């Protein structure tokens, strides 16, 4: 048996999230079916990070164990021949059995793309979040600083979260306004999150609070109060999944896995 790591990109709009379900309709279901068709035997995968319904993956990493010996490019092209257009394997790399897509990750990165515009998106529908009020970037950055570090993130945790602890380390939050025509009323914002691990809906719940600050509904220090409350009821509503992208896990260089794929160049910023 050999272990193979794959990098997978997908548009999550049409799927019920990453994790396989009895009724199908998930990214994992589609990927395992394509891999099994290519390998002509059952293939199961383990992923670096599960994503919710509507959330997209840029460089999701999975590993699989198989007795089928193929060159890396064959895993890519052969599997993609059986995948729908909105899912594609980007790369394949043989690894030792000590590599684990989830447990070997030392961090994870996400980006949220938000459209600030008077009218809701059409061309970008399902690919960006949307706010019609102007946003104050400096206020959101001040608010975000309350969240950086190791904290109890219970206030940003979904009731369906299965993590054994609400304590997580959020290493960095970066907020940038980009692609704004000079003098125009339309702009894209990019929010980058880097952490060791994340709770269910954690980023979308943080986004709801940051947008509340950005639109002037709440002051920046309110986010610190929400964090200290450790109570989901005091935070803003969960923000839309549309603009959330799993950029991928971070591994030690010893594994030699790609850290970037072409779709990263497509994202604003």
Say if strands 56-66 and 244-250 run parallel, antiparallel, or are unpaired.
parallel
Q: Could you tell me if 204 and 232 are in contact, meaning their C-beta atoms sit under 8 angstroms apart? A: no
Cα of first residue to Cα of last residue in the chain, in angstroms, is: 41
Residues pairing with 169 in the sheet: 150
Burial (CB count within 10 angstroms: exposed 0-12, middle 13-18, buried 19+), residue 162: exposed
Contact partners, residue 157, CB within 8 Å, separation at least 6:
163, 166, 199, 200, 201, 202, 205, 232
Q: Mind telling me the catalytic residues?
A: 52
Q: What are residue 160's phi and psi, to 5 degrees? A: -95, 5
List the beta bridge partners of residue 114.
129, 189
């Amino acid at each position: 048996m050999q272990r193979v790591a794959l990098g997978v990109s997908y548009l999550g709009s049409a799927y019920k999230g990453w994790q396989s379900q009895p009724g199908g309709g998930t990214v994992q279901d589609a990927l395992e079916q394509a891999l099994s068709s290519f390998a002509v035997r059952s293939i199961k995968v383990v992923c670096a990070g599960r994503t919710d319904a509507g959330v997209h993956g840029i460089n999701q990493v999975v590993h699989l164990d198989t007795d089928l010996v193929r060159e890396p490019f064959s895993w890519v092209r052969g599997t993609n021949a059986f995948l729908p257009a909105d899912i594609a394997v980007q790369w394949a790399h043989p690894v030792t059995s000590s590599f684990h897509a989830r447990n070997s990750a030392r961090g994870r990165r996400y980006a949220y793309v938000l459209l600030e515009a008077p009218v809701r998106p059409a061309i970008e529908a399902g690919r960006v979040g949307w706010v019609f009020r102007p946003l104050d970037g400096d206020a959101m950055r001040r608010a975000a600083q309350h969240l950086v570090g190791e904290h109890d993130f219970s206030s940003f945790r979904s009731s369906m979260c299965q993590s054994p602890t609400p304590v997580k380390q959020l290493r960095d939050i970066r907020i940038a306004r980009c692609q704004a025509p000079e003098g125009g009323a339309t702009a894209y914002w990019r929010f980058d999150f880097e952490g060791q691990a994340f709770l269910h809906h954690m980023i979308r719940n943080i986004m709801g609070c940051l947008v509340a600050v950005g639109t002037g509904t709440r002051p920046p220090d309110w986010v610190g109060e929400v964090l200290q409350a450790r109570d989901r009821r005091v935070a803003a509503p969960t923000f839309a999944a549309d603009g959330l992208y799993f950029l991928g896990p971070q591994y030690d260089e010893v594994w030699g896995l790609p850290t970037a794929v072409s779709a990263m160049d497509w994202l604003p910023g």
